Amino acid sequence: MLTDLVEKYLMRPKRLRKAIQAVVHENDELLRILKEHEENDTPTNLTWAEGDRWYGWTYNPVNKRFYFDDIGNESLMGLWEDQWAREAEVNGSM
């Protein structure tokens, strides 16, 4: 009932309807990719630069925790060296 109302009155212009459907399909694809990563024990991480600092986060599937580097590093290599040291500490390799 509600979906019929939305389709008939709010999504009447074809271009708007197509744009909304495209966003919904993109979100479905993103959710599929995230679920695939959760099911496979693949490492998940992200790094980015803000100004002259590098930041990042990593997901540890064993502990089911996210680790955030919100202090930042001066170089991308420094960020990854910190990450590798953290993983070694968590895994008991140090």
53 lies in the same domain as 36: no
Task: Return per-residue pLDDT of the chain as tens, 94 residues.
Answer: 667 766 666 666 777 778 888 888 888 887 887 787 677 765 567 788 888 888 888 877 777 777 787 788 888 888 888 878 877 877 775 4
What global pTM score does this model have? Answer: 0.44
Structure tokens at 7: 């389709």
26 lies in the same domain as 6: yes
Q: Which range marks the domain in which residue 22 is found?
A: 1-40
23 lies in the same domain as 60: no
Burial of 79 (0-12, 13-18, 19+ CB in 10 A): buried
> For residue 79, what pLDDT is reported?
82
Alpha carbons 56 and 69: distance in angstroms, whole number: 5
> For residue 39, what pLDDT is reported?
73
Secondary structure, 3-state, 10-50? HCCCHHHHHHHHHHHHHHHHHHHHHHHHHHCCCCEEEEEEE
> For residue 4, what pLDDT is reported?
73
Give the number of domains in the chain.
2
